[in-house]
Amino acid sequence: MFKTVQVVVLLNLANCFSQCIATPPKSGPKWSIYDLLDELGLKSFSGLLETTGFMYTLSANASGPFTVYAPTDDAFNNLPPSVMKKLQNDDNWRLLHDLTSYHLTKGNLSFLKWSNNMITSTLLDGTSIRLNIYNNNSGEPSIMSVSGATLIKADQQATNGVVQVIDRVLYSIPDDTISNYIQENSRLRKLAMLMQIAGYQDSLDKQNITLFAPSDAVFEEMGANFTNLLTNASTIKALFRNHTVNNTFYTNGLRILDGGYITNLPGTKLPIKINQGVYVSGAKLVEEDVSLKNGVLHIINKLL
């Protein structure tokens, strides 16, 4: 029974992404990863490999195998201006090196071997990327996600590994847990206060969760009700549970659920609406896809 289900899932995934997988040549791969990136037209990422010296690692057939999560040129063009400015400054070699190595992993990992919330270590010491498989409202696998970036061309085979083409540059490298991020973010000071009063840090640092974090402005609108909340630890814990989902949902996974819902920890259905932004149970995501070591955080503009 298990083998049958596994085969069906893999077939569904294969059908779902048949358009973005090139048919492998009968003679086998012709190019190393570095040369293949050029053949795929990924000039911006190839340029990073040249600047940081990784071109030599990915050109040598004796090295590897590697899996490369390579952003398109459009992904680089769509970066925030402040990030692009830093990347264009050759004096920021350490930043360029860290960004590039974060897109590289050891081994040849086909997308057919991915599982939801799969964690794979990168060549940047101490960091990992998160792989997700998101189902649509019909329950069918629809999106393959790499730390929030969508896989758009899969399993491009090279002589020394494989290239997975993604639609976003992974420039936000997770180095904190959710609880630490809340404590350090200037927009979440009131949420940090509530977390400390209720002693809820450990619960927020469990693996594979999504937190919809109300901004300080949300609590300021509560007035005296917020002051009353400070004296009730059980109500604070209930508030956190209402805003937590036991799965990692980046916005690419939420967008395909337009008109559907996700479920929070108490089991309440949270409707998803896409309308010039992403809305969860009527709250708009005002800061999206904050990748963290144990999941993802979105800042929202009202309580759920």
* pLDDT score of 134 more than 80: yes
Q: Are 283 and 212 in contact, with CB atoms under 8 Å apart?
A: yes
Strand order in the sheet with 161-166: 104-106, 66-71, 161-166, 149-158, 141-146, 128-135, 118-121
**24 against 151, higher pLDDT:** 151
| Residue 9's pLDDT band (cuts 50, 70, 90) | very low
* pLDDT score of 7 more than 70: no
- Report the largest interatomic distance among the alpha carbons of the chain, rounded to a whole angstrom: 72
| Residue 12's pLDDT band (cuts 50, 70, 90) | very low
Burial (CB count <10 Å: 0-12, 13-18, 19+), residue 199: exposed
* pLDDT score of 129 more than 80: yes
Q: What domains appear along the chain, each with residue ranges and CATH number?
A: 2-166 (2.30.180.10), 178-300 (2.30.180.10)
pTM of structure: 0.90
Please report, as a single letter, which amino acid is at residue 275. N
Per-residue pLDDT tens for 73-119?
999 999 999 999 998 887 889 999 999 999 999 999 999 999 999 99
Per-residue pLDDT tens for 153-172?
999 999 999 999 999 999 99
* pLDDT score of 121 more than 90: yes
